[in-house]
Structures are given as C-alpha cells and as structure tokens.
Amino acid sequence: MHLCLYWGFLLLLLTHALGGLLFEEYIPTLNPLLFLRDLFAAVVLLGMALAVYRRWGMEVPRLVSNSMDLYAIVAVALIIVSGFLLEGVKITSRSVYLRMVQEYADLSTPEEERALEAYWVAKFGLISPAVKGPVEEGLLRMGEELHEMSCAGCHSRPRWAFLGYGVARAIKPVALPLDRAGAAEGLWWVHVLACLVALAFLPFSKFFHLLTAPLCLLCNAVMERGRSSPANLTTKRMIELDACTHCGTCTVRCSAAPVVEVMPNSDVLPSEKIASLKVLASGKELSRRRLEELLEGIYLCTNCYRCTVVCPVGIDLQDLWFEAREALFRRGVVEVSVLSPLSFFRGLMRAEVEEGYEVPLAGAKEAIAARFQPAEEPIQVPTDAELQGRLDLSADARTFHVCFSCQTCSNACPVVANYDDPEGALGLLPHQIMRACALGLRELAFRAEMLWRCLTCYQCQELCPQGVRVADVLYELKTLVVESMKGKEDEVRPLRRL
C-alpha cells in the first residue's frame, strides 16, 4: 500500500508536476511521459484501494478511523481522479483542439482544417460536430500528412494514456455538452486547487509524516533518556506525535486492547492515545472527564513494548506514555489505579519522577477516603442468608462461612509484620477484611489501607487452614474500588458483588 502511494505519487511529481523544471524538452503528450503519467496514477489508485480496503474492508479488530484518515484518502483521490478526468475531457474537447491548431498548425485552407480535424476524430478520440459519418480515405490521408507536419512531434496516440482514454471513451455521448460548458477549464481548476490546498494543509494533516517520520527514526537512533537533555527529548516527543500516521499497527498488537470490549474508553488503544495527546500538546484544553479517560488509558498500558517494536515510524511509545502520565498527574488528575499493580513500571522509573512520585498516591488515597466515609452510627450487620448466596468474589464463595478469624493470614502477612501498630497503619488486617466481606460491609472493606499495601505474595492464601482465598479477595476488592471510583457504582450498599 505505502509503496504504491509513495512511489506512484513521487514519480508523478517528477514526471508531471515538475517535468517542465527537470527536463529541457518536456512534452507531456508525447511518449513515454504520456504512458508513464497514467501508469503512475494507476499505481496510486491501487495504493488507495488497498488503503480503503485495509481501513474499512478488512474489519481489523479495534482499528479506529477518524476524519483525518478520511481526509487523506479523499485528498489523494481528488487529485488523481480529477487529473485523469481532465485528461479524458481534453482528449474529446473540440475547443482545446482548435486552440492547439490556431497556435501550432500552419493550415492555409478550410479543406486542410477539415482534413486534420477528421484525422483527429478518427485516430485521437476528438469529438467534433463538424465531422459526421464515414470520412473519405483521401481526406484521412491528407489529415495524416498534415498531422505528421504539425502535430506528430508533440502528440502520441491518446490510447497510450489508458486512464484518460478510457474516460474519453466513456464520456463520448456527452462530450459536446461538456465542451460547451467549459468542463476542461473547470476540471483544470479543480485539479490545481486540490493540489495547492493539499500542499498548504500538509503540515496540519497526517501527510506531515512524510517529513517527520525520517526525523523520528533519526532522533530515536541517537537520543535516549539519561544521555540527552530533557529539552531535546521533549522536542523528540513532539516530532513523534507529528510522525504518527494513525495506521493502527500499534493498536492491533496491543496486549491491553481487548479491554475496550468491556470498557468504553478508546484511549486504551495506543493509536487513540496518540490522537488525544496531539490535541493536548497543541495547547487545546480537554475536559476533566477526557483527561481522566486519557490517564486511565495510559495507566492500563502493560508496558509490554509491542507497540514500540512494531511502529513503522519508530516512535518510542512507552516513553510517550510515561511522560504523558506524569504530566497529567502534575495537572492534578486522580487515577486510583496508581495504587494497583499497574504501577509496577512507574515504580521501576521512580528515579525519573523524583520528588513528585508520592503526590498521585496521596491524591488517590484521599479520593478513596473521601468516597468511603466511616460509619458514624453503629453498623447493622445483615444476617440474611440470601446475601451470602450472592457472594461470588472468590472461586468458592462459601469459604467465607468457614472463616473463623484465626488470624493465620494476618500473622503470615509480611506487610502486617512491618508495623508496630498494624491496625493503626493499615485500618483492617487481612482476617478482618475477610469478615467485613462476609458480612457485606462494603465501606469498611473499601477504606482499608491494607488493600493497597498488599504485595499479592499469596502467603495468606497458602497458609489459610480453611482454604479461604484471601489474596484473590484482596485483589478483586481493589478492582471493585477502582470501578466504584470511576462512577459505575454510585450507591453505598452491602457487598453484593463480593
């Protein structure tokens, strides 16, 4: 696809648009340029067909198309299609023919004019009201001689321009009305304006990657975090944003992409994160909700590097996500997932964050504390057996019934052992969280600091004499807290999903 589009357009540029500057005796209506022009246009059309098929025909999983993708295809199509439509109309146009005769041919009699016109009608696809019915052989021979003297030096047979000649054959029934309406001049303006508008809009469209993609590859070959200055790295990231073609290759390979099937946040997809970051980097303001969705999409990245490895223009996407995440944290955007194992990569990069590392952690904890306030009145413990039947957090929910708070899980927990006053530091200990879940005390379980201190080492679960799946419960509790903080559960109610 890219080979067809790139080389087809480049060769059209060299042999057609810039032909007069590059060649001393440039004659576009003479072979081989006449044939090559249509050949290269056909190659571009093939590339466009492949692009359309890939984006809208193949049904690539989670491939998202936006208005800029549509503009790119429409712009190229308008330039190419208007070009060979113009060529076809000019082949049939009598007014174009008469201007050429007046400027270049040296005809002395009306008979010679009629003979040359008859020859062009017979051999060059011209449509003329002055030539009707069969033409005498003698008149054609005279026209051929006149053509050899006046026209053959700069005109090959139009059938070599197979695209334009095909259009000429197709519009033959309406060629005269089109000629009278000035279709050739109108299509010329459409073709020229389409080229100029596309050129003027190039820095603001995905076509800009023609310039920025090579720069991106060069920058990533010689620059890296720790060796290059922060200012230069920031410039590199801006170049990377412009180099993105929104091809979707990163999205197709993304290990976190299936999340969008259950979570309506397109910013989980790498290609859509890039699009949102472009808007943010341009200085435009995004709503608070959009910023939260963008941060959520960045945080769900597993840092598997698949997207970076397959990016055709060499963008270091993991570096972009890391910097964007910290920039959003500096804006005060809260993401509860910062307390989850998804922060593993951020923890590895703690030296890069420096003094701002703890700020989003504190913000997330404050948001959870504000959301799940402690009960001010005595807690009414539900004894309805139906609630216990709805417990589905662990693989065997009935294990809650056999938990008798022996504290084996709490005694085995390395996090609990790290504090002199664990209840004061962690709120609830593991065995207390299990009882809170079994009793349906949602607020009590969700507020526990122990949830976010848990190392998921599975010591508690392995040593539990009753087989309660303690670590699995704590892990899913974190997920339910995040889900609740996203606004998907607004009511404060017993743990029906536990």
CA 233: distance to chain centroid? 23
Burial class (CB in 10 A: 0-12, 13-18, 19+), 309: exposed
pLDDT score for 91: 92
At 161 the three-state DSSP class reads coil
At 24 the three-state DSSP class reads coil
- Tokens at 440, concatenated: 């349906």
- Pick the range with the lowest mean pLDDT from 168-172, 202-206, 437-441, 472-476: 437-441
Q: Is the pLDDT of residue 133 over 80?
A: no
For 223-281, write each residue's pLDDT tens digit.
888 788 889 999 999 999 999 989 899 999 999 998 888 888 899 999 999 999 999 99
d(CA 139, CA 350): 90
Question: Residue with structure tokens 């927990």?
Answer: 413
- Tokens at 196, concatenated: 């100029």
For 396-427, write each residue's pLDDT tens digit.
545 666 778 899 999 999 999 999 999 888 98
At 363 the three-state DSSP class reads helix
pLDDT score for 380: 55
- Segment 164-175 mean pLDDT: 92
Given a contact cutoff of 8 angstroms between Cβ atoms, the answer to whether 453 and 477 are in contact is no
Q: Is the pLDDT of residue 76 over 90?
A: yes
- Segment 158-164 mean pLDDT: 92
Q: Is the pLDDT of residue 454 over 70?
A: yes
Burial class (CB in 10 A: 0-12, 13-18, 19+), 98: middle
Q: Is the pLDDT of residue 145 over 90?
A: no
d(CA 144, CA 152): 9
- Segment 298-326 mean pLDDT: 92
d(CA 59, CA 462): 46
d(CA 198, CA 474): 56
- Tokens at 192, concatenated: 């020229």
- Tokens at 260, concatenated: 């969008």
Q: Is the pLDDT of residue 217 over 90?
A: yes
CATH number of the domain located at residue range(s) 208-369 in this protein: 1.10.1060.10
Q: What is the DSSP string of 74-105?
A: HHHHHHHHHHHHHHHHHHH-HHHHHHHHHHH-
In CATH, 377-485 is 1.10.1060: yes
Q: Which residues contact 350 (CB under 8 A, 6 or more apart)?
A: 357
- Segment 30-58 mean pLDDT: 91
For 6-27, write each residue's pLDDT tens digit.
899 899 988 888 888 888 788 8
Report the percentage of the chain scoring pLDDT > 90.
39
Give which of 350, 381, 354, 358 is closest to 444, Cα–Cα: 381
pLDDT score for 374: 60
- Tokens at 322, concatenated: 């890391």
Q: What is the mean pLDDT of the chain?
A: 85
Instruction: Choose from 18-27, 348-357, 456-465 the range with maximum mean pLDDT.
Output: 456-465
d(CA 50, CA 5): 10
Radius of gyration of the chain (CA): 36
Q: What is the DSSP string of 187-211?
A: HHHHHHHHHHHHHHTGGGSGGGHHH
Can you point out the beta strands (E) in 172-328?
none
CA 203: distance to chain centroid? 17
Q: What is the DSSP string of 128-146?
A: -TT--S---HHHHHHHHHH
pLDDT score for 364: 87
CA 260: distance to chain centroid? 15
d(CA 235, CA 249): 24
Structural domain boundaries of the chain?
1-105+151-200, 208-369, 377-485
Given a contact cutoff of 8 angstroms between Cβ atoms, the answer to whether 469 and 486 are in contact is no
Q: Which residues contact 277 (CB under 8 A, 6 or more apart)?
A: 241, 294, 320, 324
**pLDDT band (50, 70, 90) for residue 491:** very low
The model's pTM = 0.73
Given a contact cutoff of 8 angstroms between Cβ atoms, the answer to whether 340 and 478 are in contact is yes
**Up-side HSE of residue 339: CA atoms within 13 Å toward CB?**
29
pLDDT score for 390: 46
Domains 208-369 and 377-485 share a fold: yes
Q: Is the pLDDT of residue 492 over 60?
A: no
